[in-house]
Amino acid sequence: MAQAKDFLIALDDGHGMQTAGKRTPFISSLGRAIHENEFNRAVVKFLDIELKRCGFRTLLVAPTDADTSLKARTDLADRHKADAFISAHYDALDGKFDGAGKDPEGHTIFHYPGSKSGAKLASCIHKFLIQGTVQKDRGIKQADFYVLRETDMAAILIENGFMDNLKEALRMVDVQYQKETAIEIAKGLCLYFGVAYVPYVAPKPVAPKPAPSKPATSPDVLHRVQVGAFGSKENAEKLAEILKKEGFSPIIKTEEK
Ligand SMILES: [Zn+2]
């Protein structure tokens, strides 16, 4: 069976945080617009964790918030001979909220036209992507995108929803949706490479430690054995004599009552 550590996965968090135009319309309930990169980089962060847990090696091709050029992203993946390239994005049509039911919706997976490895990777990820949050499935499509064309490995680009659909825009900052997307992509990569997906297991709560008991021998504790206590010193001396005959070494301590 293939081993995850044999494979290097390049992760691309599409765009930079301030890339012009790559954001939702103003969302009044949030008091701001959501930048596309907020979602993309969160998915890449969670995907990186997922893949490392499964044993893969990963390569972040745009680890900063700057808008790393597409060429720099694909060159880095090619130079390291990555085995797969995953680009996370959020779609847009006209950049306006047109009201419920009027905006485009759903997710789409793209691979380079005619790429067999791209098509296979896309179908493996598609299998899991349609299992989570119920969204319109726009299917697997072919596109001549730079990062798909200029990479020497199985490469896909996922548009995980529409920024100009209010319902889907709000999912961009939903941590559960970000994590779920990452888990589904990770499961698809495991299927593609024929390795086992390793799910997250929450650590067991740590039981409180019992208070340490005094050890049997301790340098600051003395255990005395007393065999009698008498008001009359004579009686005490009689008992001491008996003990001496039995081989003990008694001492008599006189103290105030
Ligand atoms: Zn994008």
CA of 229 to the centre of ligand 1 (A): 92
How confident is residue 219, by pLDDT bands cut at 50, 70 and 90?
low
CA of 162 to the centre of ligand 1 (A): 10
How confident is residue 214, by pLDDT bands cut at 50, 70 and 90?
low
CA of 18 to the centre of ligand 1 (A): 12
CA of 8 to the centre of ligand 1 (A): 23
Contacting residues for 167 by C-beta, under 8 A, at least 6 apart: 100, 105
CA separation for the pair 79, 72 (Å, rounded): 10
CB-based burial of residue 128 (10 Å sphere; 0-12 exposed, 13-18 middle, 19+ buried)?
buried
Question: Which residues in the chain belong to E strands, given as ranges?
Answer: 8-12, 57-60, 84-91, 107-111, 137-142, 154-162
CA separation for the pair 86, 117 (Å, rounded): 13
For residue 208, CA distances in Å to 50, 211, 213, 214 come to: 30, 9, 15, 18
What's the mean pLDDT when you consider all of the chain? 92
CB-based burial of residue 98 (10 Å sphere; 0-12 exposed, 13-18 middle, 19+ buried)?
middle
CA separation for the pair 83, 208 (Å, rounded): 46
User: Would the pTM of this model clear 0.85, i.e. be above it?
Assistant: no
- Among 125, 244, 230, residue whose Cα is nearest residue 181: 125
Q: Quick: pLDDT tens for 56-90.
A: 999 999 999 999 999 999 999 999 999 999 999 99
β-strands 154-162, 84-91 pairing: parallel
CA separation for the pair 123, 110 (Å, rounded): 10
Contacting residues for 231 by C-beta, under 8 A, at least 6 apart: none
CA of 15 to the centre of ligand 1 (A): 6
How confident is residue 215, by pLDDT bands cut at 50, 70 and 90?
low
Contacting residues for 211 by C-beta, under 8 A, at least 6 apart: none
CA of 12 to the centre of ligand 1 (A): 11
CA of 191 to the centre of ligand 1 (A): 25
CA of 20 to the centre of ligand 1 (A): 11
- Among 18, 15, 34, residue whose Cα is nearest residue 173: 34
Q: Which residues surround ligand 1, an ion (CB under 5 A)?
A: 14, 89
CA of 226 to the centre of ligand 1 (A): 86
